[in-house]
Amino acid sequence: MTEEMARGRREEQAGYAAAGAQVSAMPPGRPDEQLDWDKGRDGARGDAVWKGESGAGYAKLHEEVYDEEGERIGTMRDEPLLRLLMRYDEMESGAQGVTDVRGVRVEMDKAERRLMWGTTGSAVEGAKVARVAAMLHIVHHFTDVAATDGSKGRVWAEDRKRWETRVACGAYTGIQPGDVRGGETLGAAAARWVGEGMQGMSLPEWFEVVDAELAAVLMYLQTVVADAEVGEGGTEGRRCLIMSDCKGAMQMIEQAWRGTGVAGLGRAKRGGILEAICRLRERLGMVVFMYVPAHRGASTSAMADAVAKAHLCNRLREGEAEWLRRKLLTQREGRAFGYELMGDGGAVAPWHDGVFDIHRDAVGAWVRGREAGRVRTGAAAKGTVLVDVARLGLVDTEGNGEWWGEVMRGTGAAQEVERREGRTREVAEEEAESVRRDNVRCGVAAAMRNGGEVRRVTHDAWHEGEVGRERAGGEWGKACRREAGSHCSWARGWRWRRDNTATGDGRDAGEGVGRVWTGLGLCSLLRRTSSAAGASRWMRR
């Protein structure tokens, strides 16, 4: 989509109007007449979302629409993009929150309010979002528009008197249409309209932020499909615009959508949720994703962020776990089974990776928790800091993983590891790159020791000695068999294949490749998906 395409639609509309034709090239509700979208030809201001006025435009949520005879025909909130771009001063100022469609109280946190309330930056960011979204809308005529977000954080659990890791997602579709109810004040009605455009859900605590972002998209698309199934026009008539602040999630979705289909996602990481998104996307007429940077002052992003964070207050509930199980496992077509974990709250929910990743993450969580306990209790040697508790679990993987590797390398070299509180992002990125290089080096060395997992790498002296001993005795033993080219996992085909037809060991992909196990306090279950008869599950302790 280009600006010229949107301008071409405007010229097309002008031609229809001049001819008196009852045809429109613009979306219903004429958002082009309300939004200051064409900076090049309308003289649009850099901080203006709405035509003829600057600033936030808080009063827009109460504006009504009239026909040529002066009859009221609706409100501006009836138009999907306009209602998403409207702003609500009560939340941005911190005066009050709202209640979403699931009964959760939603408030904007202080950091977002500082960006939103009384600043010119929020108006500029809002204008940027509005211009791009308006041009997309003029070209594609969206029926549904939303902003989605995911969140992961530490929440104090009063019932257990401890901090817990929680994950949640949210979607915001704007200030919903409707009238003031009997006995309801205008302010109360506005709060209700805002809350009716919010929905969220809790997620398993082992989900990462990108998983939460994907879950937010899945949740919203499911809502659109469910609404279309009971409405007129069917699902194929629905065209969605989804605003997200996660480029990684959008890239995963697009790669899955444009890839090899179900077969290509059978072995892919997060293949279950990506397949579920693609299944819903396939039923809709169009789904377009738009990137909106987070925490810059755009109201769409701020409201979605508030919804996702509000749902961190709840642990994963059985109804939410069952919905995830159905979408990611039992309805999955690209793989014959999937894994589940039992979380801290007792709910069993899907795990998107294989058993090695489960073990790795579980062991990592146990080690981090144990070492954090040693630091707190003073059991570690004086002056030794193995885990920076202030950083543990509070920053993205981008920081946690590299910090742990840095600490362990320093400890192994008998060096004192400093806690550098004031590290700049540039320094952190430089350190992270250094760690990544070391990890690659260590990975190659480990693969060589593991018996030739790296192609064309010479075996070590021990292996050569074993080969010589076996050959001298006329024995075709283990070392000689490894010497053959077929011993390497690469040669045997134990790698991810886009056609998802074989695993390299003579079995079809997804056929009996897993083991059911329980360890480190996390209960794993093996669940068959829709491509396996019976959709049964079992567990071995």
pLDDT digits (tens, 9 = 90+) for 329-342: 889 888 877 788 88
Confidence of residue 515 (pLDDT cuts 50, 70, 90): very low
CA–CA dist 512, 504 (Å, integer): 13
Amino acid 403: pLDDT: 40
Q: pLDDT, tens digit, for every residue of 287-299?
A: 999 999 988 889 9
The confidence band for 175, taking pLDDT boundaries of 50, 70 and 90, is very high
Tens digits of residue pLDDT in 59-117:
999 998 887 778 888 899 999 999 999 999 999 999 999 999 999 999 999 999 999 98
> Which residue type sits at 357?
D
**Band of residue 363 on the pLDDT scale cut at 50, 70, 90:** confident
Residue 491 has pLDDT above 50, yes or no: no
**So what's the pLDDT on residue 327?**
93
Which part of the chain is CATH 3.30.420.10?
3-315
Weakest-pLDDT range from 172-186, 210-224, 263-277: 263-277
Model pLDDT, residue 539: 28
pLDDT at 528: 45
Identify the band that residue 408 occupies on the pLDDT scale cut at 50, 70 and 90.
very low
Closest alpha carbon to 208 in 241, 175, 167: 167
Percent of the chain with pLDDT over 70: 67
Cβ(99)–Cβ(106) below 8 Å: yes
Supply 70's token pair.
């002066």
The answer, yes or no, to whether residue 370 has pLDDT greater than 80, is no
Q: What is the pLDDT of residue 415?
A: 37
Contact 135, 54 (CB under 8 A): no
Poorest-pLDDT segment among 179-183, 270-274, 351-355 = 351-355
Confidence (pLDDT) at 39:
72
Residue 121 and residue 47 in contact, taking contact as beta carbons nearer than 8 Å:
no
Strands 348-351 and 337-342 come out as antiparallel
List of residues 6+ apart from 525 with CB closer than 8 A: 339, 340, 341, 342, 348, 516, 537, 538, 539
Q: Tell me if residue 338 falls in helix, strand or coil.
A: strand
Chain centre to alpha carbon of residue 273: 10
List phi, psi (to 5°) of 123: -65, -40
Class of domain 3-315: alpha beta
pLDDT value at residue 463:
67
Q: Give the lowest-confidence range in 140-144, 414-418, 419-423.
A: 414-418
pTM confidence score: 0.70
What does the pLDDT average to over 224-236?
89
Residue 510: its pLDDT value, please?
36
Q: Rounded to whole angstroms, how far apart are CA atoms 301 and 111?
A: 13
Number of H helices and E strands in the chain, helices first, is 18, 14
Which positions ≥6 away from 158 have C-beta within 8 Å? none
State pLDDT tens for residues 28-65.
889 988 998 887 655 555 678 888 887 888 999 999 88
- Among the residue ranges 74-83, 459-468, 503-512, the one predicted with the least confidence is 503-512
Rounded CA-CA distance 213/245 in Å is 9
Average pLDDT of the residues in 12-26: 87
Of 353-367, 463-477, 507-521, give the range with the top mean pLDDT: 463-477
| CB neighbour list of residue 355: distance below 8 Å, 6 or more residues apart | 339, 514, 515, 517, 524
| Whole-number pLDDT of residue 453 | 40
Residue 144 pLDDT grade (very low, low, confident, very high; cuts 50, 70, 90): very high
Cβ(278)–Cβ(257) under 8 Å?
A: yes
Q: What is the pLDDT, as a whole number, of residue 146?
A: 97
- Selection from 367, 365, 374, 437 nearest residue 406 by Cα: 437
DSSP type of residue 530: T
Average pLDDT over residues 337-352: 80
Mean pLDDT of 283-289: 94
Q: What band does 163 get if pLDDT is binned at 50, 70 and 90?
A: confident
What residues contact 133, with CB distance under 8 A and at least 6 apart? 81, 84, 85, 145, 241, 243, 290
Q: Please, what is the average pLDDT of the chain?
A: 76
Confidence of residue 344 (pLDDT cuts 50, 70, 90): confident
Select the highest-mean-pLDDT range: 124-128, 339-343, 443-447, 469-473. 124-128
Could you list the beta-strand ranges (E) of 270-336: 286-291
Backbone angles phi, psi at 519, to 5 degrees: -165, 155
Confidence (pLDDT) at 512: 31
Terminus-to-terminus CA distance in the chain, angstroms?
55
pLDDT of 215 over the 90 cut? yes
Place of tokens 């609404």: 227
Rounded Cα gap, residues 513 and 509, in angstroms: 8
Beta-bridged to residue 239, according to DSSP, are 286
Which runs of consecutive H residues, i.e. helices, occur in 28-116? Answer: 80-85, 89-92, 110-116
The residue to which tokens 């929020």 are assigned: 122
**Tokens of residue 33, six digits:** 């007449």
- Contact assessment for residue 212 and residue 152, using Cβ atoms and an 8 Å cutoff: yes
The yes-or-no verdict on residue 484 having pLDDT over 80 is no
pLDDT band at 302 (very low <50, low <70, confident <90, very high): very high
